[in-house]
Structure 1
Amino acid sequence: MKNTLKTLLAVASLAAVTSASAIVYDASVDGLVNPAGTFTATGGDLVVDTIDGVTFLGVEDPVYNPALDRAGSEIDLGQSVTVNFSEPSQLISITLGLLFNGPEYRDVVEVARLTANGGTSYTLSITGEDTAVWSNGGVVVPVMAPFSTTYGGGGVFKIVNPFGSLAISSLLLEPVDNSNEANNSDFGLVAFEVPDSGATLALLGLALAGISIVHRRRR
């Protein structure tokens, strides 16, 4: 009985500080639906597209403007995608695609900027075919396929724990003007994951219920 109580207490403690599972958005599965909230766009309409095997959420300008050089479905200069979360929570990871250091698609030294809650901004700068730097430190994992066979590099990058423990209610994704003679930065949102607070509360509730049963049986 004593060991059972210890186990239940341990589960309750774990549930209080970590999530039992995560809410995952995958553009190839969820499309325009944000399972953790909603999406909004500026500079065009939200669109899901697939380029060279990578499916992503981007922005499509219904009227082509040659002066802005905005064509296609990536998030381009003057455009943005905002990920709105129903419940503020830590961002476990986010995956961005179609980011290169050249010469792919004439995209050179592409930079993506992520701004949390309208204030905290960091950038992802592409330094090679399968390398990138996140300005907040942390881990950047190249997702090699399918660009590994097409261009010899990644093009898709997963940033792990990009904002630390910051609780995020909104996340703005936009390209950075790198004043390059070639095409400026453009990219798409491939995936993200946040803790599932509902699963955490359910686990905590089960643990506390178990503790209550143990106490009643010991009386």
Structure 2
Amino acid sequence: MSISKLLATTATGVLLATSASAFAADTVYGKDFGNGSSHTTAINGTDVTFSAKTGNNKNKLIEGKFSYKPAQDGYQGVGVSPLKGSDVTVGEIDKNEWIFAEFNDSRVISNLTLGLLFDGPEYGDSKEKAFITVTYFDDTTKEFKLQAQGETTALWTGGFGTVSNLSPASDGLGGVWSIDNPFGDNAVKSFVLTSHADKSDFTLYSVTAVPEPESYAMLALGLGLVGFMARRRDRSNLYV
């Protein structure tokens, strides 16, 4: 094997090995957030910080803490509780409770999974709604809503994504909803989860992220340049 081909093969192997870790989908789970006010973890090669907040004015929120209730049907999500005083429901995101997620670098959210959204008569809850506000990396914002409409059906509004049921919304089960490509293919800077009604509460089960499409394009360009240089060197060697 020629030196140029050897270098090309080695470089391609390095790029592919890097891509296997940096370009694969990566998931974080609410059950791992602990009981503090914030939790920072790595997702797909960048840091994301989740924060628990409470208050009725989004611009004047105070620190809350992550809290949990027993898992239903094996799905353990995370909620929010105040640092002081009483809580409507420990382990859920109720009215005036918020979870913020802030990314250090651009990532596309490929899946968002929420739990404990019901549509009565379970627990006296009817058509519960989760509200999600997203800030993209171009600083535009968009609001999305997930509303339970039955034991295995829910409505996801916002123009992107598809929702499916992982655990029926009935007594003793999880009311767990998985939204694929929830915010489209645009890179996300942050998103916020909250409830606008006393009778609508839910949990954050998991978030899955992938690099934005431009990152894949850069990888393909890098591989193409390696191949081009290898072919160029091989041709020049013919005339030596």
Shorter chain as denominator, the TM-score bin is 0.7 to 0.9
Aligned counterparts of 1:154 and 1:72: Cα–Cα separation in 2: 16
2:225 pairs with 182, 197, 208, which one?
A: 208
Q: Say whether 1:74 aligns with 2:92.
A: yes
Q: Say whether 1:89 aligns with 2:107.
A: yes
Unaligned regions of 5+ residues in structure 1, if any? 6-11, 13-18, 178-182
2:29 pairs with 16, 26, 32, which one?
A: 26
Tell me: CA distance 1:152–1:55, structure 2 relative to 1, closer, same or farther (3 Å). closer
Structure 1 residue 42: Cα displacement: 0.8
Match of 2:116 in 1: 98
Q: Say whether 1:56 aligns with 2:77.
A: yes
> What letter matches 1:91 in structure 2?
I
State whether residues 97 and 190 of structure 1, in contact with CA within 8 Å, keep that contact through their aligned partners in structure 2. Answer: yes
Tell me: CA distance 1:87–1:60, structure 2 relative to 1, closer, same or farther (3 Å). same
State whether residues 99 and 126 of structure 1, in contact with CA within 8 Å, keep that contact through their aligned partners in structure 2. Answer: yes
Structure 1 residue 54: Cα displacement: 1.6
Tell me: CA distance 1:212–1:132, structure 2 relative to 1, closer, same or farther (3 Å). same
What CA deviation, in whole Å up to 9, does each residue of 1:136-164 have, x standing for no partner?
Answer: 243101112xx57x638760001111221
State whether residues 75 and 187 of structure 1, in contact with CA within 8 Å, keep that contact through their aligned partners in structure 2. Answer: yes
Tell me: CA distance 1:60–1:163, structure 2 relative to 1, closer, same or farther (3 Å). same
Q: Say whether 1:134 aligns with 2:164.
A: no
Q: Work out which of the two has the higher radius of gyration on C-alpha atoms and give 1 or 2.
A: 2
Structure 1 residue 109: Cα displacement: 1.3
Match of 1:180 in 2: none
> What letter matches 2:203 in structure 1?
G
Tell me: CA distance 1:56–1:153, structure 2 relative to 1, closer, same or farther (3 Å). closer
Aligned counterparts of 2:66 and 2:81: Cα–Cα separation in 1: 6
State whether residues 61 and 71 of structure 1, in contact with CA within 8 Å, keep that contact through their aligned partners in structure 2. Answer: no
Tell me: CA distance 1:203–1:193, structure 2 relative to 1, closer, same or farther (3 Å). farther
What CA deviation, in whole Å up to 9, does each residue of 1:47-93 have, x standing for no partner?
Answer: 3554222211221224343xxx6231111110100111111232211
Aligned length, in residue pairs: 196
Aligned counterparts of 2:222 and 2:69: Cα–Cα separation in 1: 41
Q: Which moved more, 1:156-165 or 1:43-52?
A: 43-52
Structure 1 residue 115: Cα displacement: 0.2
Structure 1 residue 113: Cα displacement: 0.5
Q: Say whether 1:41 aligns with 2:52.
A: yes
Q: Say whether 1:218 aligns with 2:235.
A: yes
Tell me: CA distance 1:130–1:88, structure 2 relative to 1, closer, same or farther (3 Å). same
Stretches of 4+ aligned residues off by more than 6 angstroms: none
**Length-normalised TM-score, structure 2:** 0.68
**Length-normalised TM-score, structure 1:** 0.74
Aligned counterparts of 1:159 and 1:185: Cα–Cα separation in 2: 18
Q: Which moved more, 1:134-143 or 1:24-33?
A: 24-33
Aligned counterparts of 1:110 and 1:38: Cα–Cα separation in 2: 26
> What letter matches 1:119 in structure 2?
T
Unaligned regions of 5+ residues in structure 2, if any? 9-14, 16-21, 55-63
Structure 1 residue 35: Cα displacement: 2.4
Match of 1:108 in 2: 126
Higher RCO (CA < 8 A, seq sep 6+): 1
1:192 pairs with 190, 197, 207, which one?
A: 207
